[in-house]
A and B are shown apart, each in its own frame.
Chain A
Amino acid sequence: MIIDLQRFVAAGQPHWSELEKMLTHLEAEPNATLSLEKLTRFHQLYERASADLARITTFSSEPATRRYLEHLVARAYGEIHETRERRSRLQLLKWFFHTLPQTFRRHVRAFFLTVAITLAGCAFGGMALIFDPDSRHVTMAFGHDQMTPEERVRQEEQSAGDRLDGQKSSFSAYLMTHNTKVSIFTLALGMTWGVGTIILLFYNGIIMGAIAVDYIMAGQTKFLLGWLMPHGVIEIPAILIAGQAGLLLAHALIGWGTRVPLSARLRAVSADVTTLIFGVALMLVWAGFVEAFLSQYHEPIIPYSVKIAFGTVELVLLVLFLAKSGTKAAAMGAPVSDPARSEVVLDTSRIGDRRSADA
């Protein structure tokens, strides 16, 4: 424990202060780039502080200096050894047209799994309604079990005036926020090893299947398509993509067929999960607008054919966007958000080599 603490601090303090100053600068301006000389100096100061920490841990009992050095080394360690991509600035268009669809395609198998789970739910809900019509009271949400499809269609088509008059935008905002919360919940339940996500997707499928079969059996297919397609072709895929993100999380958590540690697996999918959920939020904003301003209006106000055509165009555009957008950039080797492919920001070993060569 006996060292000349005063001498030790006096000798180290100028270097520690210099390192702290550089760290404060780097933390305040994350996009700042350092020249090679400054990087080399930064690395030297980090090594010096590390060595001082090692010495004071071994020889001294002085906790305040040790804590100060630990704090300094921890901050510098994060700056020096971080290898994940550092985005220079938020490029919204690039993110939307490249990163989002590329991320979706990279995990498309998880998406297909969510589709399969939802379709299984649809089949279950539809079959339940066919074989047990009374099940409508259990399988249908949002009050759809309170009236038959014929009654609903008659009521909608005969309603004079705009029943959403003066509340369209607030209804739209409610839909956006509610659906986004459901999507985040679907994603978050991925941490239950995917069980919660699968249950939510299956339950959504049951509701959709029961309602669809109910309207089809009542001969109201055209109304059903005109009612659901304008917003549903965006809203349903959005929920499925949230489920995709949830399953991605679950897959990383379970770690089938890989020896990579849990933390590394979760770290690898973290950026993609964030990208997907932001994409979902954008899709639900659009779906909320369409549902409030278009889907709730039926014939004779808006012909069903127009609504169906609108929904079809949206669906085609969505499929094209998810399947094709950003493919050229990916083929040309543009950087993607996968952390595993990110560039090393600062390769300290090279700096070390260069320094020893200079010496």
Chain B
Amino acid sequence: MRTSILQIRTVEGVVFSQLLAGPVTRFLAWAVDLLCIGVAMMAFGWLTSLVGLLSWNIAGTVSAIGYFVISIGYGIGCEWGWRGQTVGKKVLRLRVVDAEGMRLQFNQVVTRNLLRFVDSLPATYLVGGLTCWLSPKCQRLGDIAANTVVIRSPRVSEPDLDQLLAGKFNSLCQHPHLAARLRQNTSPAEAAVALQALIRRDDFDPVDRVELFAELAAHFQAKVAFPPEATDGIADEQYLRNVVDVIYRARGEKQRALIAA
């Protein structure tokens, strides 16, 4: 079955996944690369025309070799120098990686780029696109030969949970039975949405931020109704902060000990 996730199980038994890039995203990245190659060739054409003022023979030589090197070497040079990325792949956040999670080798980069000759047949990467579409790992022929895959690499940064720091009074924790019910009724996806909303709160427009937190607060209030003394006078954002605190932070040393065990 076709999947957009490549899962790799390490010898330690840990599974990590890579998000595979689909044919359309890859086609767009290729279009950007084609544009870059076109621009590079135009710039090179102007340079060789200047050389042509001195000697047409030398200009012809430089031009023939230059165009060849740019068209073949662009993919190889970029992917090797930028660890599996070209300009198009950088723009669309794609990266070429070894299909088994190993370090990308130079010969893999060369092989997948030389095999473009077949993948681009008969025109506009039809063979490569079809192979990519049919392949379980979204691989074109060059990727199969080189044992590589193209993954999506969204921006990853170290987790920063400072904004959720405890130490403030959480009125919801005054009602442990309701807090437990809230934890029980909340799905992982809902918890993640609430957490992400808090983490990214500074990225929102002020009006959108108020609306978003109002909607989220209403959503969680509908799950478990806390008594008025626990919710009165609390802004929606603070309510959501308390909800996230309840969901993610297990209270008490007993629970911590259990988790550590």
Residues on A facing B (Cβ under 8 Å): 1-7, 9, 13, 16-17, 20, 27, 47, 50-51, 53-54, 57, 59, 61-65, 67-71, 73-74, 77-79, 81-82, 84, 166-170, 172-174, 176-177, 180-181, 184-185, 187-189, 191-192, 196, 249, 253, 262-263, 266-267, 270-271, 273-275, 277-278
Known: A4-B259, A74-B16. A270 touches B105 (CB 8 A): yes
CA distance A173 to B165 in the complex (A): 67
Contacting B248 at CB < 8 Å: which of A6, A17, A189?
A6
Q: Give the residues in chain A near B189, CB-CB below 8 Å.
A: 61
B161 engages A270 (CB within 8 Å): no
Additional A-B contacts beyond A2-B250, A62-B159, A270-B105 (16; CB < 8 A): A2-B247, A4-B249, A6-B166, A7-B249, A50-B12, A63-B192, A67-B154, A67-B156, A70-B17, A78-B98, A81-B102, A166-B56, A184-B117, A188-B118, A191-B141, A249-B145
Mark each residue of chain B from 84 to 114: 1 if its CB lies under 8 Å from any CB of chain A, else 0.
0000000000000111111111111011001
Report which of B11, B97, B159, B256 forms a contact with A68, defined as CB distance below 8 A: B159
Given the known interface contacts A53-B14, A64-B199, A277-B114, the answer about A170 and B60 at a Cβ–Cβ threshold of 8 Å is: yes
B144 touching A266, Cβ below 8 Å: yes
A77–B101 CB distance below 8 A: yes
Cβ contact within 8 Å between B157 and A68 = yes
Bound-complex Cα distance A174 to B64 (A): 6
Inter-chain contact B158/A177, CB cutoff 8 Å = no
Q: Which residues of A contact B183 (CB under 8 A)?
A: 2
Chain B residues proximal to chain A, CB less than 8 Å: 8, 10-18, 56-65, 67-68, 72, 83, 97-108, 110-111, 114-118, 141, 144-147, 153-154, 156-159, 161, 164-166, 183, 187-189, 191-192, 195-196, 199, 247-250, 255-256, 259
B250 touches A185 (CB 8 A): no
Q: Are B99 and A73 interface neighbours, CB within 8 A?
A: no
Q: Is the CB of B117 within 8 A of A68?
A: no
A263-B99 contact given A67-B156, A73-B10, CB 8 Å threshold:
yes
Chain B residues in 8 Å Cβ range of A184: 72, 114, 117
Residue in A closest to B165 when the chains form the complex, CB atoms: A6
A274 B107 Cβ-Cβ under 8 A: yes
Are A169 and B192 interface neighbours, CB within 8 A?
A: no
Question: B114 contacts A188, CB within 8 Å?
Answer: yes
Partner of B8, one of A16, A17, A74, A166: A74
Closest-CB distance, B55 to chain A (whole angstroms): 8
**B159 touching A65 by the CB < 8 A rule?**
yes
Task: Give 3 nearest A-B pairs by CB, closest first.
Answer: A170-B60, A61-B188, A173-B64
Cross-interface CB contact of B105 among A59, A84, A180, cutoff 8 Å: A84
